[in-house]
Every structure is written in C-alpha cells, then in structure tokens.
Amino acid sequence: MLEHQLIQSTGFRNFGPVGAREGFAVRLRLPNYHGTRLSMLDGFDVTVDGEFFGHERNRLAIRDEVYTLDELRQETVRRWDLTEHASVLVDKAGGLTPGIHRIAVAARIRYSYFPPDVHVFMMRAERLGTVVMA
C-alpha cells in the first residue's frame, strides 16, 4: 500500500548508470482525491535542498510508461488510479548524494469544475527523504 503522505519514502533514488547518474526520481501517490486522466495533470515542480526543477522539464513515470509534459497534456485515455504510485523524473547530472534531503513538490492538477482562475490547482507537499544509493 501507499504511504499516507503525497511524497513517498520509497522510490526517492537516482537513475542512470552507476557512476554517471542522470537524475533522480521522487515517488508520489496521486495528488488528487479521485483517479485522474493523465491530461488533467499539468506537471510537477520539484525542489530539492533549495534547488528548483520546473514542471516544464520534469517527466512522469507511471507503470511502464514515461511522459514528458507535452505527452502528459495530450494523454486523454490513460489514467492514474487512486491507489497507484508514479514517479517524477528529474534530470540532474550526477544525481543526488546519498543521505537526507529536503524535498518539496508542487503538483499542478487541473479541475474543470474549479473557476477558470484556479483551473490549475497546486497541490503542495514537503518532507525529508533519504537517497540510499549513490
């Protein structure tokens, strides 16, 4: 099962070849109270130890698929179920050092039933997370 909080402990790790890491992943539970079409997600801003990584460049890995922001915005069939996790992939040469980091995520969710000025709603969360492997 998922952890209660948005940002999950497990899944916070580097990706890419060992010794030449390309970035890191932050695993999330769905930042919404109901399952969601991928096109209703408008990306994820990630900040780690004060370094900001904007939603325009971050990708989303769900099940066996990886979506860029443009691909996410166009995906109207596939969905993120309420009880599934997915990971935000952030490019960062060398990845993160093993140890404890402060992670903040702003998930940008679109609600058609919110007034136009808040169609994109920011679901924010922040916590400490631990990268285990270099």
Longest dimension (CA), the chain: 48
Q: If binding is defined by CB under 8 A, does position 49 make contact with another protein?
A: no
**Given the complex with another protein, which of 18 and 33 has the nearer CB atom?**
33
Instruction: For the segment 71-100, give every residue that binds another protein (CB under 8 A).
Output: 73-74, 76, 79, 81-83
**CA-to-CA distance for 77 and 106, rounded, in angstroms?**
24
Q: If binding is defined by CB under 8 A, does position 114 make contact with another protein?
A: yes
Sites of contact with another protein (CB under 8 A) = 1-4, 29, 33-37, 39-40, 42, 73-74, 76, 79, 81-83, 110, 112-119
